[in-house]
Structure 1
Amino acid sequence: MTEPAAETTIYHEPGAGGAPLLWGPAFALAGYLAELSLGGPTHIFAWVLVGVVLLLLSAAWVYARRRFLLVRVTPSMLWQGRETLPVARIAELAEIDAPLGTRVLGGGWTVPRKYTEVPVRLDDGSLALAWARDGERLRSALHEARKAG
């Protein structure tokens, strides 16, 4: 997923932000403060361990979402999760409902949940499904990329 540094990004969805990384340590801190406010014994090591474990689990979750749900459009390339597609291969943006079994860009079986599908016709005549949280913005970014390319 490397790209030329000089190429501008027309549309970008990272897949996940960094906020979920704070949930585990915040939960552990809240648990420790609850123990402290109740006046009983405090288990500092246990809460630190809980915070670290939850941080690691959420880091794996954020990494996976950033890798598999990335959407990015530049004047020459479309990134959909693990797959890259040259914009020059997009013959047209189809205004049709894609039939069942249409290939989904990015390597998945279906369009990710809560994402909008954008049917595209490729230069070989096949139909594929691009996807984004904001389907209209992806569609306009692809139009812009096709004009630029």
Structure 2
Amino acid sequence: MSETRYREPGASWVALLYGPAFAALGAVAELLTGAPVHVVAWVLVGLGLAAITAPWIYARRRFLTVRVTSSALWQGREEVPLSSIAEVTDVGAPAGARVLGGGWSAPRKYDELPVRLDDGSVVLAWAKDGQALRAAIEDVKGWSA
């Protein structure tokens, strides 16, 4: 197994707690206003919100995770061996460059990082912090930043 040098998870499982926290606040609000507390309803609301949040988190973690190991760059479920990366600095992105990870474009709110491969083609990598991704690739490849 390769050592992970850089990682951006697509989402955190902590978001699963937002629904139950909202339900708890609703129950506390009922308690403080003197209204009858609908415990069963608030438990169902909390569980329901957690249930619809879980697939969203799973999908984001599966398709939006960025990882650089000592041997590969992972963009979602796509792996690019670091040995096939020729350049990450001062690479222009031509129109229609393939986006790593299988999307039509880089995910919203993510920085694009044009990457030249050893066959001369240019692909678009993406990360929340594009500079950190570039630095991690340069570090693993032994290039000076």
User: Match of 1:109, as an amino acid?
Assistant: W
CA distance in 1 between partners of 2:89 and 2:104 (Å): 20
Equivalent of 1:36 in 11, 20, 31:
31
Are residue 70 (structure 1) and residue 68 (structure 2) matched? no
User: Match of 2:61, as an amino acid?
Assistant: R
Are residue 25 (structure 1) and residue 20 (structure 2) matched? yes
CA distance in 1 between partners of 2:47 and 2:60 (Å): 20
CA distance in 1 between partners of 2:112 and 2:90 (Å): 11
User: Match of 1:89, as an amino acid?
Assistant: S
Q: 5 Å matches for 1:1-149? A: 4=1, 7-147=2-142
Aligned residues: 143
User: Match of 1:113, as an amino acid?
Assistant: R
User: Match of 2:139, as an amino acid?
Assistant: E
Deviation for aligned residue 1:62: 1.3
- 5+ residue gaps, structure 1, are none
CA distance in 1 between partners of 2:92 and 2:19 (Å): 41
Contact 2:94 2:122 in 1 (8 A): no
Q: Secondary structure at the match of 1:64?
A: helix
- Stretches (4+) displaced over 4 A: none
User: Match of 2:49, as an amino acid?
Assistant: L
Alpha carbon RMSD of aligned pairs, Å? 1.4
Cα-to-partner distance string for 1:1-29 (whole Å, 9 max, x where unaligned): xxx1xx22111111112221111000000
User: Match of 1:47, as an amino acid?
Assistant: W
Q: Secondary structure at the match of 1:79?
A: strand
User: Match of 1:63, as an amino acid?
Assistant: Y
User: Match of 2:121, as an amino acid?
Assistant: S
Instruction: Give TM-score, length-normalised by structure 2.
Output: 0.92
User: Match of 1:127, as an amino acid?
Assistant: V
